[in-house]
Amino acid sequence: MKVILQQEVKKLGKKGDILEVSEGYARNFLLPQKLAILATSTNVNTVSQQKASEARKAQRMTEEAQVLAAQMSKIEIKLPVKTGEGGKLFGSINTKDIADAIMAQHQLEIDKRKIEMKDAIKSLGSYVVTIKLHPEVSAKIQVHVTAQA
């Protein structure tokens, strides 16, 4: 019996897959649990249209992320901070500080969880920080940490 999975089923397949399963498995488990529907021609057409729509949406999201990455690669952020002797910072600069600076200086709202840093910044200087905009797209920005006047 041919069925179309409505959601992922372990060891069987992912959502939208068209599979051949035994009649008993389909009638006693997949169909009553709403995990699958029968693979009629109308259902197959509906699923193919949904997949095409999702693919177009994913493509659009990737293109938007690439445009944003091009804009972000030109961004430089200046962070004036209080320093002690030898250029050591009082505290450190973390992803939240960088996200707040991007919002204040360039009016771009970036989630702090998308900013990737190996360690918190603890001294003066210039640093390159990576921002993950999309699973396939990332941008690098310059962060200049300067002593507060």
pLDDT band at 97 (very low <50, low <70, confident <90, very high): very high
CATH code: domain 69-147 is 3.10.430.100
pLDDT band at 73 (very low <50, low <70, confident <90, very high): confident
Domain assignments of the chain as residue spans, ordered by start: 2-64, 69-147
Q: What is the largest CA-CA distance in the chain?
A: 77
Alpha helix locations (H) across the chain?
A: 23-25, 41-72, 95-106
The stretch 123-140 carries a mean pLDDT of: 91
Which stretch of DSSP H or E encloses residue 37? strand 36-38
Establish whether domains 2-64 and 69-147 are of one fold: no
**Residues with Cβ within 8 Å of residue 98, at least 6 apart in sequence:** 77, 79, 112, 115, 117, 129, 143
Q: Do residues 142 and 79 touch, judged by C-beta distance below 8 A?
A: no
Q: Which CATH class is domain 2-64?
A: alpha beta
